[in-house]
C-alpha cells in the first residue's frame, strides 16, 4: 500500500516542483523585462529559478565586499537587487541620491526593522543601535548629553589623558625600549574600551582589579563575530535552528552574551552604588538613565550599544590609519608638522580646540575611513512600498542596504583615483567632511540618525594619533603584506597590525619626561 502511494505521489511532487520552477523563472524574467531587477549579466549575480542567486552568493560568501563592489560598479545606477532562497529581497546601493532618500527624505519608511533587530537582539537587546521609533528617540535624547562640548572637554578629554598615561604610551615606550613587537590593533581596542567604560559607566581604575575588563572585551569580540555571521548567512533558518537547539556557534554566543550581561550589570550596580543621597549627583550615562527611571536591563542594553560603538569604530579606523602612515611617509610628515603646531606643550595628545584646528590630520582620517569604513554596510527594512530616486522599486519588507565600503571605491563618486589614498581630496573646496555630503560619505550615517558621537570619535582619533606619532615611529613587521579587511559588526584588520616601535629623536632627548613633569607639577 505504501509503495502504491509513493508511486502516485512521486510524479505529483515532481510535477509541482517543475511547475514552481517554471513559475519562478517566468516571474524573474518578467521582472527583468520590466526593469525592476538589474539582472543583466553585468549588473547582478546570476539568478536561477527558485534558488535565485543563492549559488552565486554562497560561492562569494568569503569575498562579499569585493563581489558587491564589482556588481555596483557595473550597474549604471550603482544599485542592484538581489533575490535568493531563504532571504528577503535585498536592494543594495552605492548611489548617494538613494542613500539620502533612505536616511533623510523618506526616513520614516526605513527603520532598522524586525529582521535587523532579531539578528542583533541577543547581544544589543533594546539599546539605541537596535531600537526604532519612540524608544530610539527617547534614548537618543538622553545620550545626547554625552556629546556636548563641555562633556568632550571635561569627561572625554580627562578619560583620554588618563588612559594614555596609564597604558597606551607606556606600552609603546616599553616596546621601543625592548625592541619587541606590539599589536597596535589590540592595544587600540583595549584603550578605546577603557575610555568608553570611564565615560559611559563612570568606571574607575580600581574596577578593573575586581572585574577583568580583558575578559569582557574578549566576550564582545566573540559575540560580535557570531552575530556578524548570522547577518551574512546564506540561509537565516540555519542559525535560527541552531539557536533553538542551543548548539554550535549559537551556544557559544549565548555563553559570551551571559558574560557580557553579568559584567555590565555588575558595573551598572557599582555606578548606582556610587550615587546615593548626600553625595553630589554623577554625570555619567548610567546615573542619568537611573535618574530618568530606566531599569537595570534597559541601562545594560544602552551601555552595551555604547561600548560596541565607542570601542570598535575608532580603534578600527585608527588601526588602518597607522598602517597607511607606514605606507605613506610623506603624508605622515605633513600630519606630524600639524601635530607639533596644534598640540599643547603639557598634554599627552591634543585637546578639543586643538583637534578642531587639525585639518591635515582630519583629512587623513576621513580618507582612511573612505577606504576602510568601520561599518562596511548598513541595512534598513522598508515599512511600505517605495521607489528610490534612481527608479528602483522597493517592496514592503524589503531589506535596503547602503554600502559605505563600495561607495568609497566608486569612480562615479570619487573619480578615477577612487582606489588611491589621497588625503588632499578633503582639503580642496568644499573643505573636509563638513563640506562633503554625508550621503556621499555615510560613515557617520546622515539625516535624523546621524551619529551623535562623530565629534567625540574625531577627538579620540586625533588625540591618539597625536600622542603616538609625536613620540614614536611605527614600522609594520610585514611591510610587504596587504592586510585583509574583515567586515564584522564593525570592521577590523585580520591578524591585527604587528609593528616595531622606535622613539622619535626628540623623545630620546627627554622631551616626553619633561612633558609629564609639566603636567604633574
Residues forming the annotated binding site for heme? 451
Neighbours of 468 (CB within 10 A): 26
Neighbours of 28 (CB within 10 A): 18
- Strand 378-381 to strand 90-93: parallel, antiparallel, or no bridges (unpaired)? unpaired
Which residues are part of a known binding site? 451
Q: Are 182 and 498 within 8 A, CB to CB?
A: yes
Dump strand ranges (E) for 287-437.
378-381, 386-387, 393-394, 399-402
Rg over alpha carbons for the chain, rounded to the nearest Å, is 25
Residue ranges in 410-493 assigned as alpha helix (H): 411-414, 454-469
Cα distance between residue 339 and residue 369, in whole Å: 20
DSSP annotation string for 274-320: TS-TTSPPP-SHHHHHHHTT--HHHHHHHHHHHHHHHHHHHHHHHHH
C-alpha grid cell, residue 264: 555590565
Whole-Å CA distances, 454 to 28, 99, 152, 303, 457: 42, 19, 11, 18, 5
Whole-Å CA distances, 66 to 186, 321, 405, 506: 26, 21, 9, 43
Give 87's DSSP letter: S
Q: Are 157 and 300 within 8 A, CB to CB?
A: no
Cα distance between residue 521 and residue 518, in whole Å: 6
H or E element, residue 188: helix 184-201
Which residue from 213, 216, 224, 233 is spatially nearest to 253, judged by alpha carbons?
Answer: 224
Quick one: CA dihedral 387, 388, 391, 396, positive or negative?
negative
Beta bridge partners of 401: 92, 379
Cα distance between residue 94 and residue 63, in whole Å: 17
Neighbours of 30 (CB within 10 A): 11
Neighbours of 103 (CB within 10 A): 22
Q: Are 465 and 335 within 8 A, CB to CB?
A: yes
Q: Are 191 and 376 within 8 A, CB to CB?
A: no
Amino acid at each position: 500500500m505504501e509503495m502504491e502511494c509513493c508511486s502516485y505521489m512521486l510524479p505529483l511532487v515532481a510535477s509541482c516542483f517543475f511547475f514552481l520552477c517554471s513559475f519562478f523563472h517566468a516571474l524573474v524574467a518578467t521582472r527583468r523585462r520590466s526593469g525592476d531587477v538589474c539582472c543583466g549579466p553585468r549588473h547582478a549575480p546570476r539568478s536561477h529559478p527558485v534558488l535565485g542567486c543563492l549559488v552565486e552568493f554562497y560561492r562569494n560568501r568569503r569575498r562579499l565586499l569585493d563581489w558587491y563592489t564589482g556588481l555596483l560598479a557595473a550597474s549604471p545606477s550603482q544599485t542592484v537587487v538581489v533575490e535568493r532562497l531563504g532571504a528577503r529581497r535585498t536592494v543594495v546601493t552605492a548611489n548617494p541620491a538613494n542613500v539620502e532618500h533612505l536616511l533623510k527624505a523618506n526616513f520614516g519608511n526605513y527603520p532598522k526593522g524586525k529582521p535587523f533587530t532579531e539578528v542583533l537582539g541577543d547581544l544589543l537587546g533594546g539599546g539605541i543601535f537596535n531600537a526604532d521609533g519612540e524608544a530610539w528617540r527617547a534614548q537618543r535624547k538622553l545620550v545626547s548629553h554625552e556629546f556636548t562640548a563641555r562633556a568632550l572637554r571635561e569627561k572625554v578629554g580627562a578619560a583620554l589623558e588618563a588612559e594614555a598615561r596609564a597604558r597606551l604610551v607606556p606600552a609603546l615606550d616599553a616596546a621601543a625600549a625592548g625592541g619587541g613587537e606590539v599589536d597596535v590593533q589590540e592595544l587600540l581596542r583595549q584603550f578605546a574600551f577603557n575610555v568608553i567604560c570611564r565615560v559611559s559607566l563612570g568606571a574607575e581604575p580600581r574596577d578593573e582589579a575586581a572585574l577583568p575588563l580583558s575578559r569582557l572585551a574578549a566576550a564582545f569580540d566573540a559575540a560580535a563575530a557570531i552575530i556578524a555571521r548570522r547577518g551574512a548567512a546564506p540561509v537565516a533558518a540555519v542559525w535560527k535552528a541552531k539557536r533553538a537547539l542551543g548548539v554550535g556557534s549559537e551556544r557559544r554566543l549565548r555563553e559570551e552574551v551571559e558574560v557580557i550581561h553579568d559584567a555590565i550589570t555588575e558595573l551598572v550596580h557599582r555606578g548606582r552604588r556610587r550615587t546615593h543621597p548626600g553625595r553630589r549627583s554623577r554625570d555619567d550615562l548610567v546615573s542619568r538613565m537611573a535618574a530618568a527611571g530606566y531599569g537595570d536591563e534597559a541601562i545594560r542594553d544602552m551601555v552595551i550599544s555604547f561600548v560596541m560603538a565607542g570601542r570598535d569604530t575608532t580603534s578600527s579606523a585608527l588601526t588602518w590609519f597607522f598602517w597607511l602612515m607606514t605606507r605613506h611617509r610623506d603624508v605622515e610628515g605633513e600630519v606630524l608638522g600639524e601635530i607639533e603646531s596644534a598640540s599643547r606643550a603639557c598634554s599627552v595628545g591634543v585637546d578639543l580646540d586643538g583637534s578642531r584646528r587639525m585639518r591635515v590630520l582630519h583629512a587623513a582620517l576621513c580618507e582612511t575611513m573612505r577606504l576602510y569604513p568601520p561599518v562596511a554596510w548598513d541595512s534598513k527594512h522598508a515599512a511600505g512600498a517605495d521607489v528610490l530616486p534612481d527608479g528602483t522599486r522597493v517592496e514592503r519588507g524589503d531589506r535596503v542596504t547602503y554600502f559605505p565600503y563600495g561607495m568609497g571605491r566608486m569612480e562615479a563618486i570619487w573619480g578615477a583615483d577612487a582606489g588611491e589614498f589621497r588625503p588632499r581630496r578633503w582639503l580642496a573646496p568644499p573643505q573636509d567632511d563638513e563640506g562633503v555630503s554625508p550621503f556621499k560619505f555615510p560613515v557617520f550615517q546622515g539625516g535624523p540618525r546621524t551619529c551623535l558621537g562623530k565629534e567625540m570619535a574625531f577627538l579620540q582619533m586625533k588625540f591618539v594619533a597625536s600622542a603616538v606619532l609625536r613620540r614614536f615611529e611605527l614600522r609594520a613587521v610585514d611591510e610587504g603584506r596587504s592586510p585583509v579587511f574583515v567586515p564584522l559588526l564593525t570592521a577590523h584588520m585580520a591578524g591585527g597590525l604587528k609593528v616595531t616601535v622606535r622613539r622619535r629623536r626628540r623623545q630620546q632627548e627627554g622631551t616626553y619626561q619633561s612633558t609629564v613633569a609639566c603636567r604633574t607639577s
